[in-house]
Amino acid sequence: MTENVFNYKKSDYEKPLLFLGEKQGLFDTINHHYPRIWGLYKTQKSLDWDENEFDYSSCNADFKKASRSTYDMMIKTLAWQWEADSVASRAIAPVLAPFITSSELWAAWQRISDNEVIHAATYSEIVRNSFDDPSTIIEEIMKVSEAHARLGRVVKAFDDGYTASHKYALGELPNDQETYNAIFMMVIALFCMERIQFMASFAVTFAICDTGMFQPIGKSIQKIAQDELEIHAELDRAVLENELTTARGQIAFAQKRADIEQLIGEVVDSELTWIEYLFSEGRELVGMNAERLAAWTLYCAKDVYNTLGLQTEKYQFPKTNPLKFMEKWLNISKTQASPQEQDIAAYKVGVMRRNDEGVMFDDVF
């Protein structure tokens, strides 16, 4: 058995590196070196849910009666969300696996990859249940070239990570700073997608749902937004903040700083370009316009810049949240409905425990 499968010679159980340390042996929960990462893994487990929990049948009628503007905006937004989560479901744990040398980080990212499958499946189920002929909608979605371009910069970083990952696994890349830099850039790209792009996209979905239409879609995507904001983006942040305390992380940041600033800027610019396109061709959305959505995007981007300690004069970042209605959508407890009103999305699993083992009951049934 090679050390790629199980490392019998592993000697760094007391303090393994997140990336490019000694290859993994025993899955270790005795030593907790990254409690923040382990906590996020546990929270993601507690938030487990299923793509079939919501009844989308009413959305079929909503799409048929929606204005052309609302229909187009919902379709174009779903197109990007479905595409992005399809990428994420295949490009996190599988691509990063050869580099990961921490039990805690492996547990977290493989769980998040599974969660991204639920997200992608949710968008697929939305389309399957909301249209008389879903196959024509797939064709329509795949024609939205602007959505593909919007994801372009992040996909390039993932593609670079994919190439480095496979070469490293095959022994064709050394365990050196250049290989580490490829990992570092991929994590930053992932952070940008989950903290900036997904949040901008959710704002359009929730603005449409605030009109009273597409409520099952709103509730399911609210679950997705909770996962992305509270778990996925926070894991990216935890990884980056940890790596920036290491020698390799600091070298990567110094060597790749210009590329990092360019990557974030390209992601933000692609979002602003997308917003212009979304509100072009006569499309309108009640309670939302291009300026407000752009401000929200910059508000989300500010968090990425602050996390990395970067400053830029390119953008004017809002000091406060420009879309107050997002607060109720991003805090599920604020919109919890009664079971009679709609499908319930606010819950956690695994909160019931038995304490009656060995107890004899007198009841006769």
Tell me: the pLDDT tens digits for 194-207?
A: 999 999 999 999 99
CATH number of 36-41+54-335: 1.10.620.20
DSSP characters over 262-291: HHHHHHHHHHHHHHHHHT-TT--BTTB-HH
pLDDT tens-place string over residues 255-277: 999 999 999 999 999 999 999 99
Percent of the chain having pLDDT more than 70? 90
- pLDDT reading at 221 higher than 70: yes
Residue 104 CA, chain-centre distance (Å), reads 19
CA distance 224 to 216: 13
Percent of the chain having pLDDT more than 90? 75
Per-residue pLDDT, averaged over 225-235, amounts to: 96
pLDDT tens-place string over residues 21-42: 988 888 898 888 999 999 999 9
Q: Which two tokens stand for residue 206?
A: 């929730």
pLDDT value of residue 214: 97
CA distance 223 to 54: 11
For residue 288, name the pLDDT band (cuts at 50, 70, 90): very high
pLDDT value of residue 335: 40
pLDDT value of residue 31: 84
Nearest to 123 by CA among 217, 209, 229: 217
When the pLDDT of each residue in the chain is averaged and rounded to a whole number, the result is 89
Q: Map out the domains of the chain as residue ranges.
A: 36-41+54-335
pLDDT tens-place string over residues 319-336: 999 999 999 999 755 444
- Rounded to two decimals, the pTM is 0.88
The four Cα atoms 354, 360, 362, 363 give a dihedral, to 10 degrees, of 40
